[in-house]
Amino acid sequence: MLLDLSLYQACLGVASASFVYGATRGVYNLYFHPLAKFPGPKWAAVTGWWKTYVEVYKGESIIDKLFELHKIYGPIVRITPNELHFSNPSVYHEIYNQRSRWNKDPNIYQVFGEDISTVSTLDYRDAKRRKELIAPHFSRKSVLQLQYVVQDGLNELCAVIRARCEAGKQTDIWRAFRCVSMDNITSYCFGYCIDAVHATDFKEPATEELHEGLRVFHVFKHFSFLKHIIVVLSRLIFKYKIAELDRPGYGRKNIRQIKGIIENPTILADAPHQLVYHTLLDPNASLKLSRPSLHDEAGMLVVAGVDTVSNSSTVATIWTATQGDPDRLRAELRAVWPRIDAPPSLEVLEDLPYLRAVCKEALRLSHGVYTPMLRIVPPEGATLGGQFVPGGTSVGISNLFVHLNPEIFPEPHKFCPERWLAPGAESLDTWLVAFSRGPRSCLGINLGWCELLMNTANIFRCFTVELGDCWPLFVGGENGPISPYELFHDDCYLPYYHGPDLLFKFTPIDS
């Protein structure tokens, strides 16, 4: 009886102390915190659980919420006790610029992987060393040398689409691009192809699992201990040789490939071309990566190489076919690509003005990363948007607040490649931030441009594209046709799509 009473009193004491601490902390955050002067929802100022409530419990997109909040509170909004979001596009270049040496916020980047990768490295100096190690594989020189890998993948995709046409089948363009992107990134980086484009209806398990994995982003972000539990369990499973059972196809191959190269580096000499491991495992490099770190690096390359390219290629195809000028694009392509079986080089495609305009508009409306990429203000503080921000504050601005700003891009939700061809349009390049900006920008920008240009060119040179069974989405109802933002709506770091199959009718062009 005494033991039960003591346990009850101990629990009551802990609960009381927790309540007092939480209440005191909340009052401090609301009235005395260094960010107390910045506007925003009161509960967001009191506790970070407000953001958890929005993203996890209610399942809402924080981007939608941010657009609402900026209308109420102005260009700077406090959305957690220690986080500010900005809406003025000029602030983007104040946070993400070449002079910025700011570290990343661990609350976001701790989500990725079990060890550490270039993306999840928080400290600027450490990230610089890692990026310098891997960057040569994604340089323009490397992309030009290996562009045939991308074209080989597209040749396979086009062959599959032609076969579907002959069988009277429509094609899910989004899944098709995900599959060819998976084949191309694994071929380009690792020297093998998982043959995703030949999956039934392009429903390759690896790409499907990759996409569904985005749904846990917010859960792991707000409850990081769950990720650590899963990592510990996966290591225990791996110890008993069954970890590979739960990995997608490329994951199993990467595990075996990394193990084989570490045990016998000479096998790299038999690779079909330069692999990412030639740079990551260079014996002369000053930075040596652990095996878990190599697994994470490989995994992040696949995630980054599949989602962003497939989303932008989907936007380019759908909106050119439904709201753009496909005949103009096709005529431009025919001029440099007269024979179907003799595709031009990347260098030739890069010089086609309307193709580049289509791809820029697709990048603008697919955005790259949705989530604000948070940076930590250095100890001395910084002036952002004309306001002094104390050191240690997490700050960011979502790409969408740049790409959808009507002062920069009139009718921002409209797909309009012609805006990139108007007099003075060169100035718009400053505001195309799909690959981010500054020293932590996307290292795959050269490969991303290569794939987007070649994907778009191959589809519109080899086929005519018409609406299929997904036509209700794009013909418009009371509110008009759906916009790219409405299609790729949910923010799971990357945009998450969960609508109907995007089925289109393709007709081969034989001459």
| Residue 481 CB coordination number (10 Å) | 15
Q: Give the Cα separation of 368 and 381 in Å (integer).
A: 28
CB 79 within 8 A of CB 42: no
8-state DSSP, 136: G
Give burial (CB, 10 Å; 0-12/13-18/19+) of 284: exposed
Residue 10's φ and ψ, nearest 5 degrees, are -65, -45
Whether 192 contacts 254, CB under 8 Å: no
Residue 191's SS3 state is coil
**CB-CB contact of 507 with 165 (8 Å):** yes
The rounded distance, in Å, linking the Cα atoms of 404 and 485 is 10
Q: How far is CA 188 from the centre of its chain?
A: 18
Residue 442 assigned ligand-binding role: yes
CA distance 510 to 284: 51
Contacting residues for 83 by C-beta, under 8 A, at least 6 apart: 51, 105, 374, 393, 394, 395, 396
Task: Tokens for 239, please give them.
Answer: 């110890």
- Annotated binding site, which residues? 442
- Annotated binding site for heme, which residues? 442
